[in-house]
């Protein structure tokens, strides 16, 4: 019995098992990439392989704990924690949903089980926001029916009309209307746009026309989200690329903005539940500490 346990212990800690397990991970990864089936990474077989890799490294570490340099031992612990986090993460999920601006949904499509799941709340897309780099525009200025000037500048810049300063605020792409702010001797007096809407004083003598503009370059886009149950708003926030909104362990990623065949705008939202994320990042931190100690040891000759 004792020899049997010793053989099992030696086998689990062996390099041969490690090579076999890493080969299996590569095969699963190749198949998952080619087939596009992400559910393979949450399958019981894949979880077992990752767990065995962690167990193999743990037994290998225990077997050599007295001879391992301190830095390598710390890196081993970090890798084990990272693998543990990876196993825990397989119990999470990824779900996606497209939401039209001004509407809400209460379900999302979960990819691992390939069906819609209830969110337990209403997820509303309040607004789609886009920010552009300064856009070159040409603005015609009229005084009555007389053309008095043509100005070429960028949004955010200003030009002068006698005692007035006119600032080009923004271009509304959907209506192709230019928003302007007007100042008189440094004092704000009102706004106008090139569609004819204005709250300027009645005696303001000028009108503005958008003559031309260049296609804008997108700088940033984000969405405003609202979470509610019935009439109660339980959370609000924004989500943009690389900066998801986080709520109760769920991460709401903004992944796309598009329009349907009728021109209606909608946003794609990816919802991720990753319970292993803290363990993975903690493991990475431990690996980093071990790597730093290893580097210092190599430079200064210590362990």
Element (H, E) at 47: helix 44-63
**Token output for 30:** 């190749």
- Residue 198: CB atoms within 10 A of its CB come to 16
Structure tokens at 179: 């928003």
- H or E element in which residue 169 lies: strand 164-172
Note the pLDDT of residue 1. Answer: 52
Number of structural domains, the chain? 3
Q: Is the pLDDT of residue 171 over 70?
A: yes
Q: Do 98 and 271 touch, CB atoms closer than 8 A?
A: no
User: Are 267 and 98 contacting, i.e. CB atoms less than 8 angstroms apart?
Assistant: yes
pLDDT at position 302 is 58
- Give me 108's structure tokens: 């999302």
Q: How far apart are CA 228 and CA 236, in angstroms?
A: 9
**Domain match, 105 and 141 both:** no
Domain membership of residue 144 as a residue range = 134-213
Q: What tens digit of pLDDT does each residue of 105-133 get?
A: 999 999 888 899 999 899 999 999 988 89
Say how many Å lie between the first and final Cα of the chain, rounded: 38
Residue pLDDT, tens place only, 65-74: 888 888 889 9
One domain, residues 86 and 34: yes
Q: What CATH number should be reported for the domain holding residue 265?
A: 2.60.98.10
Closest among 122, 84, 124, 117 to 100, alpha carbons compared: 124
Residue 160 zone, left/alpha/beta (φ > 0; ψ -120 to 50; rest): beta
Domain final residue pick, 162, 197, 213: 213
Least-confidence region, from 109-113, 149-153, 284-288 = 109-113
> Mean pLDDT in the chain?
88
Residue 229 DSSP class: E
The pTM score is 0.69
Final residue before a domain boundary, out of 179, 195, 213: 213
Q: Which H or E element spans position 166?
A: strand 164-172
How far apart CA 303 and CA 291 sit, in angstroms, is: 12
Based on the domain organization, do 84 and 46 belong to the same domain? yes
pLDDT tens digits for 197-229? 899 998 899 999 999 999 888 888 999 999 999
Predicted pLDDT at 104: 93
Residue 209 parent element (H or E): strand 206-213
């Amino acid at each position: 019995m004792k020899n049997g346990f010793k053989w099992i212990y030696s086998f689990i800690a062996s390099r041969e098992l490690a090579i076999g397990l890493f080969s299996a991970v590569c095969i699963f990864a190749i198949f998952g990439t080619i087939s596009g089936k992400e559910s393979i990474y949450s399958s019981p077989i894949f979880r077992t392989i990752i767990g065995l890799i962690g167990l193999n490294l743990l037994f290998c570490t225990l077997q050599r704990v007295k001879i391992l340099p301190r830095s390598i031992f710390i890196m081993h612990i970090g890798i084990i924690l990272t693998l543990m986090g990876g196993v825990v993460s397989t119990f999470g999920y990824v779900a996606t949903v497209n939401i039209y601006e001004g509407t809400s949904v209460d379900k999302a499509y979960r990819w691992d089980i390939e069906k819609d799941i209830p969110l337990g709340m209403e997820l509303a897309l309040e607004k789609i926001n886009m920010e552009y780099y300064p856009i070159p525009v040409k603005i015609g200025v009229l005084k009555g029916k007389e053309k008095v000037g043509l100005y070429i500048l960028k949004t955010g810049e200003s030009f002068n009309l006698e005692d007035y300063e006119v600032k080009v605020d923004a271009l509304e792409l959907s209506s192709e209307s230019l928003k302007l702010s007007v100042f008189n001797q440094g004092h704000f007096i009102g706004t106008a746009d090139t569609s004819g809407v204005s709250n300027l004083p009645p005696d303001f003598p000028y009108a503005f026309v958008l003559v031309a503009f260049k296609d804008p370059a997108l700088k940033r886009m984000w969405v405003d989200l609202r979470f509610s149950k019935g009439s109660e708003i339980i959370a609000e926030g924004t989500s943009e690329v690389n900066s998801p909104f986080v709520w109760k362990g769920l991460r709401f990623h903004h992944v796309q903005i598009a329009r349907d065949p009728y021109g209606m705008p909608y946003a794609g939202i990816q919802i991720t539940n990753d319970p292993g994320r803290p363990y993975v990042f903690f493991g990475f931190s431990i690996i980093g500490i071990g790597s730093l100690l290893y580097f210092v040891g190599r430079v200064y000759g210590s362990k």
